Structure 1
Amino acid sequence: MSKPIRKAAVIGSGVMGSGIAAHLANCGIECLLLDLVPKQLTVEETAKGLTLEHPAVRNRLAAGAIARLAKQKPAPLYDDSFAKRITPGNISDHLAQIAGVDWVIEVIVENQQAKQDLLAQIELHWKPGTFVTTNTSGISVNAMSAGCGEAFRRHFLGTHFFNPARYMKLLEFIPGEHTDPEVVAGLKQFCETRLGKTVVIAKDTPNFIANRIGTYGLLVTLQEMVDNGFRIEEVDAVTGPAMGRPKSATFRTLDLVGLDTFMHVANNVFTNVSDPQEKAVFDVPNVLKTMVERGWLGEKAGQGFYLKQKGADGGSVILSLDLAAMAYVPQRKVASVSLDAAKRAKGAGARTKALIEAGDKYSLLAWNILKKVLLYSADKVGEIAGSIHEIDEAMKWGFNWELGPFETWDAIGLAKSVERMEAEGDSVPAWVKAWIAEGHAAFYEKRDGGRFFVHDGQLRKLEMPPEAISLRELKEQGRVVRSNSGASLIDLGDGVACLEFHSPNNAIGADILHMIRQSTEAVRDGFDGLVIANQGKNFCVGANLVMLLMEAQDGEWDEIDGIIRLFQSTMYRLKRFEKPVVAAPHRMTLGGGVEACMPADQVIASAETYYGLVEVGVGLIPAGGGCKELALRASLSATHPEADIQPYVNRAFETIGLAKVSTSGHDAIRMGLMRPGDRVVTNPDHQIYEAKQAVLRLVQAGYEPEREEKFRVAGADGKSVLLTGAQAMRHGGYISEHDLKIAAKLAHVLAGGDVPAGTLVTEQYLLELEREAFLSLCGEPKTQQRMQHMLTKGKALRN
């Protein structure tokens, strides 16, 4: 890349613009956020005696957008303090400041003329070499920049972020006909590495890739429902996880997007394509137009295809829209042979295949929708994207499909499905039939240690950057060193091994603990260091609660004691291991998952890591070293030997006692659950690579394991302070009597028991306190009720 990006300017402070600015700030980029100058004073501004010329008024739109970031859900910022990296301004006074930035992003209203006018202003202040991009969702990039100079157009392209910018991984690049390929390559590398995006290259066509195919799919689904008299909840039951799609399926997705927004996107294709058949599909149905006219726009309006109301019992009831009567009615449960078959199948491809082959009415609905989307996707290869892989990636990361269209086609059987399509009178693109005729059974093939896909009638290798390590591919290459039902040790190369959890929900049980022990033996003999990571949906949701509850209900206290001793000793062994260990948690990392990371020499967390010691939610306290580690860190935080450690112990007590969970990896560091020396990686695909590099750096630095030393505890006096706070919460009605009992156990452990304040203790001493408290709580009926409730309801019980 010819120049680094250290500072950016976002022009347009609406939901999308402020979200993009927030994500740039998340990734350490200083950002100037500009918007129009208001034409009228607010009541509050008038009361303060401000005028339209006052800077606070002139910058109001951008400043207000920044202020709202901390209140938005889901949170646009990894940490609220990152808002300081965004400077508000206005286009009239501050546009000239873009001469000092490295990237300008236009995010104003979706109107071609307005964008053209703004680009003309930007060019007046543009510094040669600065990237300029537009965050359009469908307007032609070439048409937009037609009036700009050649040098400017070489540095101009479309960058279509998906909303919300922090969470949606897809970023569509739309180069113009004059865009310099080196500009595209450099910005692509930056967006993938620093912003954590999956970048796909789209052609400059209406709605680009994801919105073109996604909108088509939603419209043909709506048409199938109307033509065949299906209810809304029936369609959503079929077009959700059963087809490898999100739980929001079709109509909840439309409600979330907003029906007016969806209509705008559909109309953009309708207006700009010439094929009559395609045009007919994108002609929005009258029922949708009627809903928009009535203001039934979806979630933002309080009603759309679904309406949430209070039921007779005071709880929430969700009604669905009867399109024939245009009235909301109670939902009816949806069940069928095909849906049951899909639930039993493992993996998105197997679920979809089971669904369409079952032979009932829902099976036929799924097939009629799916085949149209597959054929449309195949027909658009070359027109909207250069390859099938770009289309697959766009749909997976833009619409959260588990498999892209062509991956889905492979999963259901390419030749067999094409034969069925043609038997039903559908026209299959010639290139698809030619590929099958050459003897190919799929669009993607594995050979010679790589993955290939069809491109222009030939197989092209799918080139992956070295940072994108795939544990699945390494296992397919025979790189497994040891394995059992819960975990595997995999050779990452360069003397580094990876311990991968793969139990159900990656919950920690005896199988994982035994594999950790076996892994340390294998690494001691044949590797330089160890990474603890996996690429499951979540890193680890905690210990195996099912097993623990069964043992507690049966009164098998020796068994539970043995399990906790095994957990504690395994984590202690990991902490004192003579070779470096780096943990790489991602997404939900709870309870025992956090305790599995705490012994590591360094944690390389994904930015989207939701990290917390949440055992109190099931009536317990952390007993795999979590309490011990926070007590130790409290002692170490008070660097002077005479310094008061009580504030640090109080913080640990509150963090565990309230079962706090971080909202990001950065937030976990702020909370003290991770250390200042731990790192956060934005791109989850690069996380294992970065963890591996951290191990290699530790090896190169001449790694020596941390020696155990005694540390100070708050003792009986500190315990009293903690209990006083808990009792005040009980008196105030904020916690139950059982919560208070748990808090007392937790206070006893974190304070180091009833010893005098400042007593030096060992880690083993704290582990014994943990284990005793945990065992006693396991025997409490109310704790067992909480465990049962969590397993059956998926949420905490307050009893």
Structure 2
Amino acid sequence: MERQIRRAAVIGSGVMGASIAAHLANVGIPCLLLDIVPSQLTGEEKRKGLTLDSNEVRNRLAVNAIKKLKKNKPAPLYDEDLASLITPGNIEDDLERIKEVDWVVEVIVENLSIKKQLFERVEKVWEKGIIVSSNTSGISINAMVDGRSTEFKQHFLGTHFFNPPRYMKLLEIIPGDETLTEIVDVMRPFCENKLGKGVVIAKDTPNFIANRIGAYSMHVTLNEMLAKGYTIEEIDACTGPAIGRPKSATFRTLDIVGLDTFVHIANNMYEKVSDEAEKKVFKVPEILQQMVDKGWIGEKAEQGFYKKVKNEKGKKILSLNVQTMEYEPQKKIAGASLEAAKMAKGAKQKLRALFSTEDRYAELAWNTLKEVLLYSAEKVGEIADSIVEIDEAMKWGFNWELGPFETWDAIGLEKSVHRMEKEGSSVPQWVKDWIEAGNTSFYKRKEGTTYFVSNDAYKQLEPNPKVISLRTLKEQNKVIKANSGASLIDLEDGIACLEFHSPNNAIGADILMMIEESIKEVRSNYDGLVIANQGRNFCVGANLMMLLMEAQDEEWDEVEHIIRLFQNTMYHLKRFEKPVIAAPHRMTLGGGVEVCLPADRVVASAETYYGLVEAGVGLIPAGGGCKELISRLSLTVTNPEVDLQPYVNKIFETLGMAKVSTSALDAKKLGYLREQDTVVVHQDHLLFEAKQAALRLVQEDNATKPEEDIRVVGSEGKALMQLGAYQMKLAGYISDHDQLIANKLAHVLAGGDVPAGTRVSEQYMLDLEREAFLSLCGEPKTRQRMQYMLSKGKPLRN
């Protein structure tokens, strides 16, 4: 079926509906946002003389929702200007406009009767070919369209986004009994490639996959707490990072989700499952219902299992004592098993370490985890066709590092099943049969290929051609060169990838050395270079600890050597005659940005938080960051009659305030990325797209890139910037040390004490950077800032 989704309509402008519309706008899809017509005027509307027939009133809900999108945190939009792609309306006047779109998504109240009434109205104006879906989190897809025509049902399915839609990777697609296969075949790649989602196909069962397993996990944990007398803090200590789950663990997660929402999900399960043992698990505990009745429903009510209170030091977080129903200061939890897990690296090793020690907390983790593993195994075939959908749903929807079956493999399938049976648990027959057949795991990897259990045999997990795994390439012996900080890996087709793998991907001498080695290797044997990695963040900057140690010891020659080495390496990268593509993702700060600036193209993940933040630790960018931004400006504004000062002032403000982009699109707005740099919505596709960009540049003329002089604003421009800093100091916005840093930054960005319009060399600008950086390293307050950042993870204002 040849069709594309170019326009959409979202019905329901609540938080979720508006956020889905925002994400559609993020990827360039215009959409209608429709809601009901208000039945009463607001006071402001009355003062304006409006009536219930006024368009402003009739569209009020959608209009206000769009306004909120620009203010909400975390931001639903990559850039608030994208809100212009969303057109507000109402379902009385504008429902017929769904004929103009390719996809309609319903996001109204979770009430079957109301949804059915809406779809009856939608069908009256619907035209064949338009895809219609519901964002329900658990109501039956088939039940919603009971009574609708066969053709409508064929074009109908569930598309369950997880909240917030921009940031959460999971999207469950739930076909109905009559949904055409070709409709699923359109939606799956669209949601993956265009919306950047991790898509799983779920069956039309209560709460689908992720909420089914997630709610069960929370219920067994709650029940274990109430039965054994564990505290809130103990539960969260054992159900968070110790077992490969988010820091929010159980009760912080419940507070974020909302206890009222969770009770709704639980009641939905309780009513719809028929198995009595399963019903018993999903019965809402009395304590939870009491909390909802009191309005203690979590973060949106500012209290749930945790409560923030103000004190003389700012804010303090209290936890609920479930015995007394009083909030108390949190107690620190410590135990041998938890300490062992904390010391281990990676989710698999943490789990093994946790269960290698027998204590109260290892028992708690085992008792809750065991039930989730058994439940997941029971539901294979019922809620999803394979273990893969279940594992991916839990990783993408609940941010678990390992899905249930990956977890089972990590703790040892045979050993754990033996313990379960010894303790009287009922293990699904298919799991016992699998082990009796001589298998020791649900997954296996062989020569970079993953296999998983399916119908009593290992089945190959079909690779996605747009997903390039550096781990797999390493397993296939594709490493060309490597040291402790980085590796050069063959991506095939003449392209090599430089991967950072130092702690936090911080840049030190080992990475700089590998960049130089990579340039030599690619020059001789490859056509292009991609700089990318698949760590949590692309790069958090240079190795600040190493720099601080040298500064504290006053080893100024060594500090200068480090900076000069960084500058020279970036200069060589920029001058390299073959294509260089940088592919940043998530946190890309300081030196991480300076590695990207010399690249011929940047192919950035949409979720890239990009910034030269050196001012936050009392320094200025000195790896070519200042030079490169001024050089780009000089090359862009070529008319000598055009005043550069306003543009330089913007750079000065961006660097001086250590601004970090909220997305890759915002990085373009801040001037860090260029127009020719591209944005990739699906982060798993980032390396593939970077490779494609390199291959395209290979086809172009790749002659040596000559150095060009840089036009600067000179001493006059410097004075203007420094005056601005002085005024901010007088107004109390910045400290004396902030002003000192700003003055140094102004000196560098202006090109020093030269006349306005002077053209200077790149090396001259690099020398200015290095001199300013060295002088700031000698300042005690800068060293205090560096130390504070390393110990506290946040900037010090001194």
Do they fold alike, i.e. is TM over 0.5?
yes
Structure-2 residue corresponding to 1:742: 741
For 1:521 and 1:132, the matched residues in 2 are separated by 54
Deviation for aligned residue 1:332: 1.0
Structure 2: how far apart are the matches of 1:762 and 1:539? 30
Alignment match, 2:76:
76
Cα deviation, 1:459-515, whole Å, max 9, x if unaligned, reads 111112110111111111110000000000010111100000000000000000000
Alpha-carbon RMSD across the aligned residues, in angstroms, is: 0.8
Match of 1:326 in 2: 325
The one-character-per-residue Cα deviations of 1:647-692 (angstroms, maximum 9, x if unpaired) are 1100110000000000000000011011111111000000000000
Mapped contact 2:640–2:757 kept (Cα < 8 A): no
User: Which residue number corresponds to residue 305 of structure 1?
Assistant: 305
CA distance in 1, matches of 2:307, 2:552: 42
Q: Give 1:151's aligned residue.
A: 151
**What code does the residue aligned with 2:317 have?**
I
The equivalent of 1:576 in structure 2 is 575
Return 5+ residue gaps in structure 2 as ranges: none
For 1:110, give the aligned amino acid: E
Deviation string 1:148-181 (CA, Å, 9 cap, x unpaired) is: 1111111110000000000000000000011111
- Asked if the contact 2:507–2:539 (Cα under 8 Å) also holds between the matched residues in 1, the reply is yes
- Within 2, Cα distance between the matches of 1:781 and 1:416? 57
Give the aligned partner of residue 43 of structure 1. Answer: 43
User: Conserved in 1, the CA contact under 8 Å of 2:174 and 2:203?
Assistant: yes
**Separation in structure 1 between the aligned mates of residue 196 and residue 644 of structure 2, nearest angstrom:** 38
Answer yes or no: is the 8 Å Cα contact 2:252–2:305 preserved in 1.
yes
Separation in 2 of the partners of 1:146 and 1:67?
Answer: 36
| Structure-1 separation of matches of 2:365 and 2:25 | 42
1:436 aligns with 2:432: no
Q: How far apart, in 1, do the equivalents of 2:295 and 2:265 lie?
A: 18
Q: Secondary structure at the match of 2:491?
A: strand
Does residue 631 of structure 1 match 2:607? no
Aligned residues of 1:580 and 1:705 also touching (Cα < 8 A) = no
For residue 161 of structure 1, what is the amino acid of its counterpart? F
SS of the aligned residue for 1:6 comes to: coil
Distance in 2 of aligned mates of 1:181 and 1:461: 23
CA contact (8 A) 1:584 1:691 kept: yes
Contact 2:141 2:158 in 1 (8 A): yes
Q: Is the 8 A contact 2:11 2:105 kept in 1?
A: yes
Code of the residue aligned with 2:490 in structure 1: it is D
Q: CA deviation at 1:53?
A: 0.5
Query: 2:136 aligns to what?
Result: 136
Distance 2:564 2:125 in 1: 66
Q: By how many angstroms is 1:447 displaced?
A: 2.3
Q: 1:442 is matched by which residue type in structure 2?
A: S
Deviation of the 1:38 alpha carbon: 0.5
The offset of 1:448, in angstroms, is 4.7
Alpha-carbon distance between aligned partners in 2 of 1:90 and 1:758, rounded to the nearest angstrom: 56
Task: Name the counterpart of 2:172.
Answer: 172
Corresponding position of 1:58: 58
Shift of 1:293: 0.6
Report the Cα distance in structure 1 between the residues aligned to 2:409 and 2:32, rounded to whole angstroms. 46
List aligned pairs for 1:716-795, cutoff 5 A. Answer: 716-795=715-794
Cα distance in 2, alignment partners of residues 57 and 640 from structure 1: 50
Local SS of the residue matching 2:93:
helix
Distance of aligned partners of 1:639 and 1:58 in 2 relative to their CA distance in 1, 3 Å threshold? farther
Deviates more, 1:739-748 or 1:352-361: 352-361
Query: Residue deviations 1:512-533, cap 9 Å, x none?
Result: 0000000011111111000000
Please give the alpha-carbon distance, in whole angstroms, between the structure 1 residues aligned to 2:371 and 2:436: 22
| 1:195 correspondence with 2:188 | no
Task: Report deviation, 1:33.
Answer: 0.4
Residue in 2 that maps onto 1:358: 357
Please state how far the C-alpha of 1:705 moved relative to its aligned partner.
4.3
Instruction: Please name the residue that 1:250 is paired with.
Output: 250
TM-superposition CA deviations, 1:567-606 (whole Å, max 9, x none): 0000010001010000000000000000000000000000
Contact preservation (8 Å) 1:634, 1:652: no
SS at match of 1:493: coil
Distance in 2 of aligned mates of 1:62 and 1:361: 52
Shift of 1:315: 2.5
Which residue number corresponds to residue 184 of structure 1? Answer: 184
Q: How far is the alpha carbon of 1:356 from its aligned partner?
A: 2.2
Give the AA of the match of 1:724.
Answer: L
Aligned mates of 2:630, 2:773 — CA distance in 1: 16
Take 1:231 and 1:326, find their aligned partners in 2: how far apart are those partners? 12
Runs of 4+ in 1 over 6 A off after TM superposition: none
Structure 1 letter corresponding to 2:252: R
TM superposition shift of 1:354: 1.3
- Report deviation, 1:706: 3.0
Paired residue type of 1:145: V
Which residue is equivalent to 2:680? 681
Letter in 2 for 1:624: G
Q: How many residues align?
A: 798
CA contact (8 A) 2:447 2:475 kept: no
Alignment of 1:281-430 (within 5 A): 281-311=281-311, 313-430=312-429
- Deviations along 1:312-346, one digit per CA (max 9) or x if unpaired, are x3322111111111111111110110011001111
Aligned counterparts of 1:210 and 1:421: Cα–Cα separation in 2: 24
Amino acid in structure 1 at the alignment position of 2:22: A
Q: 1:120 — aligned with what?
A: 120
Amino acid at match of 1:322: N
Report the Cα offset of residue 636 of structure 1. 2.7
Tell me the amino acid that sits aligned with residue 766 of structure 2: L
Paired residues for 1:273-284 under 5 Å: 273-284=273-284
**One-letter identity of the residue aligned with 1:672:** G
TM-score w.r.t. structure 2 length? Answer: 0.99
SS of the residue corresponding to residue 199 of structure 2 reads strand
Larger mean Cα displacement after TM superposition, 32-41 or 440-449: 440-449
Residues 112, 139 of structure 1: 8 Å contact kept: yes
Q: Which piece of structure 1 moves more, 22-31 or 141-150?
A: 141-150
What is the match of residue 595 of structure 1?
594
Residue 233 of structure 1 corresponds to 233
Distance 1:458 1:702 in 2: 51
Contact 1:637 1:645 (C-alpha < 8 Å) held by counterparts? no
CA contact (8 A) 1:19 1:166 kept: yes
Q: Is the 1:453–1:459 contact (alpha carbons within 8 Å) kept by the matching residues of 2?
A: yes
Q: Report the Cα offset of residue 125 of structure 1.
A: 1.5
Tell me the equivalent position of 1:511: 510
1: distance between equivalents of 2:313 and 2:479? 54
Task: Please tell me whether residue 108 in structure 1 is matched to residue 141 in structure 2.
Answer: no
Deviation of the 1:633 alpha carbon:
2.1
**Partner amino acid for 1:529?**
G
The CA deviation at 1:565 is 0.7
3-state SS in 1 of match to 2:517:
helix
Moved more, 122-131 or 592-601: 122-131
Q: How far apart are the structure 2 equivalents of 1:615 and 1:624? A: 11
Whole-angstrom distance in 2 between the partners of 1:413 and 1:474: 26
**Cα distance in structure 2, aligned partners of 1:75 and 1:758:** 40
**Aligned partners of 1:227, 1:248: CA distance in 2, in Å?**
22
Q: List runs of 5+ in structure 1 lacking aligned partners.
A: none
Counterpart-to-counterpart distance in 2, 1:119 and 1:479: 53
Does residue 209 in structure 1 map to residue 221 in structure 2? Answer: no
Letter in 2 for 1:722: M
C-alpha distance in 1 between matches for 2:313 and 2:515: 49
Question: Quick one: distance in 2 between partners of 1:453 and 1:256?
Answer: 34
